[in-house]
Structure formats: structure tokens, C-alpha cells
């Protein structure tokens, strides 16, 4: 493909020479920086004390020191329950163990039962079983029923639970990685908006500004230029998504620390069954975000060519793929529709995506949402690339 690299450079120049590109990037950058700055500078009432988020987390980190490295088992839960009745300062080290783990797996009502024995009795757990892990299984069984899982799917997850090698968990402070993980959701929304603003014109402008006549009658104007435009769009997507993720994660890890990167994500979300550490989960979510961004680009570029109008591309991404999933939830009863809908990146890169137990049936077994999502995004990207290519190659300049 002659002059391919030169054409890619020119297409990138077209994207980067637009004021809107820099305005969009500036706004995204400011949003992420402001988010970090607010955490460090703005004082508010956190757990009854006037403090910045940073100060509150530093205090929490300090408070949790006595239990860091301890195994999460009945002994620790018992200590937490005793401390809860003793007083606020005695309870401080156990705040997260109790609030995030015990209350999540046992439910608020059971957690208020007071003692370990009573809680086990209410939940029907035998004395020799650890409360947290046995209650977690019950909680997961109930969630699987709520999500209308088939027996085969339930068996799949039961087997996963039986083979968990991270149980029992060792408690660690994990706020830095947890914050970085939660920001993948904010990042994908910002990336989608940014891509819609910056790429929607790439093909549409040629038609709207009537440069298509010059371009399409040139030697490289059909096949080579399509791939050059696409490559430029994808390069822009990868670099901008990478930068947005970087400015999302780095401040969180710098402010709150990198402790907990090797801890299992179940410390922050006990009902998750996928076996990952916080570090792996961040890596997974961020890579998935980049794949999703590439899929968004292929959709934007396809719409830009198909409809020869940047507005349609913007609406397709921001309206249909970002706002709609944020505002609408398909009930679990509508299994297939709901599952397709929830494979949207807005849900899969979000932290709650790990709590979607619905499996995707494939020959020979199942794929988890985390396994299926990257494949779906790649397949959809390829499909939209070829739909766009077909439209571009078939386009005829007429009727003006």
C-alpha cells in the first residue's frame, strides 16, 4: 500500500489540527486532574470528621495497620464483633472487615445479630465452617437465582468456588488500587465522549466539505485511504484512551498508595467469583477499556461514513452506547436481551461488572463476562470496520 504511512500521518494531522480535539482533551484532562485534586484538598464530613478524602484514607490506613496481613477468618470476625460493642476507637481497625466483608456476605440484618454463633445459627452455617466463606456461598447462591442462572451455570460457579485457591483471604489495605479500578468506569465514559467528538468527522467531513471528489478519484483514494483513515483513528484512540487511563490511575495510586495490588479483589467485593488480584483486575479493566475504545472508534468511523454525518456518529456512541446503559436496566428476567445489553463496556469495565454471573454458552462450555467481553468487542470492531469499508468503497459522488 503505497504512501500508507504518509497518509496516516496526514489523517492524524487532520484530527489533531481540529480545535475541538484539544478542547475535548483539555476538558477530560481537567476533569481527571480535578477529581484527584478534590480528593487531596477539599474538606468534607467523612465518618463524622472534617477531613479531605486523602486525610480520611490515611487515617483509615493507620487504623487498619493492626490487622493488615491477618487471615480473614472467624477469629478476626469475632474480634471485629467484640470491638463493635466495645467502642468506636476499638472498632476502627475492623471497620472495613465488618462493613465491606461481613455485612456484604451476611446481609445487614444478620450482621446485627451480635455474635458469631448467632449469625451462623441464623444463616444455618455449621460451627466448624468459617462464617465469611460459608455466608458468601449462600449470598452467591441467592444472587445466582436472582440473575436467573441455569443449573449448568450454577454448577460452573460452584466448581469455581470449590477450587478457589485464594481462600482464606489475607487482609490488606487496598484503597489505592480500588480507587484506580473504580475509575475505569469514569474513564470509559470520558473516552467515549472524547472519541465521538474527535473522530465523528473523519469520514463525514470529506463528504460535507466536498473533498470526497478530489480524494476518491485519486489512485490511493479508495482502498489505501480507507485503511489509512482507520489506522489514524485507531492510533488516536489507543493513545488518547491510554492517556486518559493513565491520568485516571496514576493520581489514585500516588495519593492512596499501591498497597493491595496483590490482594484478592474479594477484599473489596466479597461476592466476586472471578479469581483476580486488584492489580490483575486493574490491568484487565484497563485493557478492556482500550478494546472497548477501539470498538467505539470502529462504530464512530463506520457511522461517520455510512451516514456521512458526524451527528449520527455522536448520537450512536453517546446516546445509545453511553447514556442508554447508564439510564436503563434490563431486568434479569429478560435473560438474552439483558445479557447482550449488559455486555456494553459501560457495564463490563465498571467494578460491578465482576458481579455479573451470567455466562455465555460456547461449544464445550461457558465463557464468563470477563472472557466474552474482549472477544465480542474485537468481533464487533472487525464487523464495523468491514461495514464501513464496504460503504466507503461503494460510495458515489452524486446529487449535489
Whole-number Å distance between alpha carbons of 394 and 390: 6
180-219 positions binding other proteins, by CB under 8 A = 208-219
> Which string of b and e fits 263-280 if b means at least 16 CB within 10 Å?
bbbbbbbbebbbebbbbe
Q: Is there binding between residue 225 and other proteins (CB under 8 A)?
A: yes
As a whole number of angstroms, the distance between CA 171 and CA 177 comes to 14
Beta pairing partners, 165: none
**Matching residue, cell 472467624:** 74
400 binds other proteins (CB under 8 A): yes
Distances (CA, A) of 175 to 76, 263, 268, 327: 20, 11, 9, 28
Is residue 398 a contact residue for other proteins (CB under 8 A)?
Answer: yes
Report the residue from 107, 168, 221, 374 that binds other proteins according to the rule CB under 8 A. Answer: 221
Q: Give the separation between CA 136 and CA 272, rounded to whole angstroms.
A: 10
Q: What is the 3-state secondary structure (H, E, C) of 264-300?
A: EHHHCCCCCCCCCEHHHHHHHHHHHHHHHHHHHHHHH
Indicate left, alpha or beta for 364 from its phi (over 0: left) and psi (-120 to 50: alpha).
Answer: left
Residue 364 in the binding site for other proteins (CB under 8 A): no
In the list 6, 43, 50, 115, the residue contacting other proteins (rule: CB under 8 A) is 6
Count how many residues are written for the chain.
400
Closer residue to other proteins, CB minimum distance, 14 or 70: 14
Q: Which of residues 76-95 bind other proteins (CB under 8 A)?
A: none
- Residue 99 or 218: the one with the smaller Cβ distance to other proteins is 218
Phi, psi of 165 (to 5 degrees): -105, 0
**What are residue 362's DSSP bridge partners?**
365
Q: Segment contacting other proteins (CB under 8 A): 12-20, 121-129, 154-162, 286-294?
A: 12-20
Least distance to other proteins from the beta carbon of 218, Å?
4
Q: Which of 18, 154, 158, 308 binds other proteins (CB under 8 A)?
A: 18
State which of positions 371-390 bind other proteins (CB under 8 A): none
State yes or no: residue 305 binds other proteins (CB under 8 A): no
Quote the least distance from Cβ 231 to other proteins, whole Å: 14
Question: How big is the site for other proteins, counted in residues (CB under 8 A)?
Answer: 31
The one segment of 43-51, 144-152, 222-230, 265-273 that binds other proteins by CB under 8 A: 222-230
Residues that bind other proteins (CB under 8 A): 2-3, 6-7, 10, 13-14, 17-18, 208-223, 225, 396-400
Amino acid at each position: 500500500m503505497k504512501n500508507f504511512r504518509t497518509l496516516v500521518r496526514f489523517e492524524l494531522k487532520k484530527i489533531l489540527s481540529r480545535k475541538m480535539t484539544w478542547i475535548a482533551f483539555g476538558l477530560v484532562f481537567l476533569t481527571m486532574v480535578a477529581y484527584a485534586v478534590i480528593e487531596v484538598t477539599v474538606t468534607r464530613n467523612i465518618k463524622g470528621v472534617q477531613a479531605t478524602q486523602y486525610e480520611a484514607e490515611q487515617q483509615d490506613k493507620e487504623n487498619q495497620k493492626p490487622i493488615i496481613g491477618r487471615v480473614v477468618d472467624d477469629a478476626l470476625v469475632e474480634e471485629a464483633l467484640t470491638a463493635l460493642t466495645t467502642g468506636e476507637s476499638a472498632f476502627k481497625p475492623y471497620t472495613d472487615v465488618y462493613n465491606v466483608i461481613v455485612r456484604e456476605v451476611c446481609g445487614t440484618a444478620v450482621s446485627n445479630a451480635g455474635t458469631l454463633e448467632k449469625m451462623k445459627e441464623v444463616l444455618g452455617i455449621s460451627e466448624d465452617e468459617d462464617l465469611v466463606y460459608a455466608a458468601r456461598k449462600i449470598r452467591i447462591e441467592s444472587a445466582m437465582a436472582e440473575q436467573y442462572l441455569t443449573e449448568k451455570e450454577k454448577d460452573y460457579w460452584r466448581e469455581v468456588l470449590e477450587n478457589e485457591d485464594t481462600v482464606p483471604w489475607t487482609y490488606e489495605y487496598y484503597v489505592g488500587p480500588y480507587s484506580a479500578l473504580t475509575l475505569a468506569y469514569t474513564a470509559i465514559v470520558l473516552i467515549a465522549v472524547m472519541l465521538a467528538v474527535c473522530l465523528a468527522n473523519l469520514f463525514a467531513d470529506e463528504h460535507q466539505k466536498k473533498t470526497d471528489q478530489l480524494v476518491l478519484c485519486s489512485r490511493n483514494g479508495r482502498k489505501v485511504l480507507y485503511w489509512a483513515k482507520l489506522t489514524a483513528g485507531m492510533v488516536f484512540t489507543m493513545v488518547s484512551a491510554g492517556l486518559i487511563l493513565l491520568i485516571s490511575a496514576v493520581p489514585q495510586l500516588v495519593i492512596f498508595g499501591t498497597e493491595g495490588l496483590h490482594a484478592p479483589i474479594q477484599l473489596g467485593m466479597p461476592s466476586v467469583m472471578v479469581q483476580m488480584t486488584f492489580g490483575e483486575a486493574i490491568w484487565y479493566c484497563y485493557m478492556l477499556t482500550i478494546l472497548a475504545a477501539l470498538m467505539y472508534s470502529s462504530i464512530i468511523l463506520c457511522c461517520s461514513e455510512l451516514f456521512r454525518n458526524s451527528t449520527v456518529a455522536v448520537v450512536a456512541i453517546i446516546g445509545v452506547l453511553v447514556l442508554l446503559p447508564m439510564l436503563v436496566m434490563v431486568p434479569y428476567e429478560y435473560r438474552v436481551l439483558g445479557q447482550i445489553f449488559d455486555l456494553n463496556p459501560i457495564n463490563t469495565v465498571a467494578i460491578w461488572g465482576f458481579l455479573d454471573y451470567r455466562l455465555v454458552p460456547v461449544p464445550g462450555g461457558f465463557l464468563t463476562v470477563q472472557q466474552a467481553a474482549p472477544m465480542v468487542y474485537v468481533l464487533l470492531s472487525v464487523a464495523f470496520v468491514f461495514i464501513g469499508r464496504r460503504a466507503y468503497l461503494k460510495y458515489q459522488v452524486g446529487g449535489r
